[in-house]
Structure 1
Amino acid sequence: MALLFFMAKKSKYLEVGEILVSPEVITEYFACDLEACRGACCVEGVEGAPVAEEEKELLLETLPRVIDTIPPANVDYMTTHGVLYSPAPGAWATMIVDGGRCVFTCNEEGECCRCAFEKCFTEGSQSLFYKPISCHLYPVRTRRTDAGRTILYYDVWSPLCDAAVARGQREGIRIYRFVRSALVRAYGAEWYSRLEEVADHYLSSHE
């Protein structure tokens, strides 16, 4: 398979179908270490998690099924302020409380933070929604080119995710492997297979 490059703003992107992929997604290592970070990405930051327009309806439909998992204070906040907000025209994000905590965050044993949707989905409840794809993809983020093409890039969050980088390096897990299920969910198994081919070619020619 031919390996193609796309020049944009002095950076090289790998072209996988219609998606542009930053080489760091392939070369860098990452694997969440919840024992170290305790799910800090759910409670840190200044904005809520981006929610795609096509996710809104399913998220709202599923919310009543997971509401008992969410702390009462967060439920009260949602009742008063809403579930989602719009940080920019045409964009949506999860509401946050206490300056950074996602309103859907719940605490598990040992005070590890977790998404209530993910908890209910993985524990076999009737949840229909896993969690926002933006969360599922992390540390991969997306943005659009002026021409409307999607770029996937590595969002470096240091020191918050330093333990995840160290674990990825220790266990030999590259970013695109770590987020495989999210990439398949977002773009399909066939696209991910093409990404693997591109990754193998790129790594063999650069290492």
Structure 2
Amino acid sequence: MIAIDNKLISDEVIEEQFVCDLSRCKGGCCEDGDAGAPLEHDELDELINNYHIIEPYLTSEGKAVINKYGKYTYDTSFGWVTPTIKGEMCAYGYRDAKGILKCAIEQAYNDGKLGWKKPISCHLFPIRIKKSKQDSDLEYVNYEPREDLCAAACKLGKQLKVPVYLFLKESIIRKYGQEFYDTLAATAAHLNNGGQ
């Protein structure tokens, strides 16, 4: 376990290797789960304020679900989450011509129409963040790939020798800032050199 500020980072974040292989998993993390994508409190406002920009990218099924249940819903286990279509695919998802599940929010961002890329929980996957029940300031930063779904990404990461923290550099900086990432990278380099 690595401690940086009030974050406890699992060793796997620097020890394991991972690179998403969308040609193999087809973006399955956007439909394989117990609920929609977890949302931070400020992301609820992003969905409300920018829905008119995101809406043209949505499928008709996604729009219908959002119109019926709202732009986000509350799950007793995960808190605020995106709604899902039939309990599976995120309502903000769509399939491209190759059958790969993509994010409508991210596509609006990529097209320069939105300044918010997508929920940070999606951007950080396969890192998952859990808050301590005893200390509201303490967060656990864990590496939690899906065993079957992410097998190809774990294999590709090993082939390319890309550690999880490096693959997720952009999202870690987005969540915790450049200084946090630099400290994490320096810690990884130190440990990889035998702690010397």
The one-letter code sitting in structure 2 at the alignment partner of 1:123 is D
The one-letter code sitting in structure 2 at the alignment partner of 1:168 is G
Q: Distance in 1 between matches of 2:76 and 2:26?
A: 30
What are the superposed Cα offsets for residues 95-117 of structure 1, whole Å, 9 maximum, x if unpaired?
Answer: 01122110000111211110101
2:125 pairs with 135, 138, 146, which one? 138
The match for 2:35 is: 47
Q: Distance in 2 between matches of 1:72 and 1:179?
A: 32
Gaps of 5+ in 1: 1-12
Aligned length: 193
Q: Distance in 2 between matches of 1:73 and 1:120?
A: 18
* Structure 1 residue 77 corresponds to structure 2 residue 65: yes
The match for 2:110 is: 122
Large movers: runs of 4+ above 3 Å: none
Asked if structure 2 preserves the Cα contact closer than 8 Å seen for 1:33 and 1:163, the reply is: yes
Q: Distance in 1 between matches of 2:135 and 2:143?
A: 21
The match for 2:185 is: 196
The match for 1:8 is: none
% identical aligned pairs: 28
What are the superposed Cα offsets for residues 149-182 of structure 1, whole Å, 9 maximum, x if unpaired?
Answer: 0110011311000000011000011100011000
2:169 pairs with 166, 176, 180, which one? 180
Question: Kindly tell me: are residues 41 and 29 of structure 1, through their superposed partners in 2, closer, same or farther at Cα, counting changes over 3 Å?
Answer: same
Q: 1:68 deviation in Å?
A: 1.0
The match for 1:165 is: 154
Gaps of 5+ in 2: none
| TM-score (norm: length of structure 2) | 0.93
Question: Kindly tell me: are residues 89 and 43 of structure 1, through their superposed partners in 2, closer, same or farther at Cα, counting changes over 3 Å?
Answer: closer
1:98 pairs with 86, 89, 99, which one? 86
Q: Distance in 2 between matches of 1:99 and 1:194?
A: 39
* Mean CA deviation greater in 184-193 or 85-94: 85-94
What are the superposed Cα offsets for residues 54-74 of structure 1, whole Å, 9 maximum, x if unpaired?
Answer: 211112211210211110121
What RMSD, in angstroms, separates the aligned Cα atoms of the two structures? 1.5
Secondary structure of 2:194 counterpart: helix
* Mapping for residues 50-65 of structure 1, pairs under 5 Å: 50-65=38-53
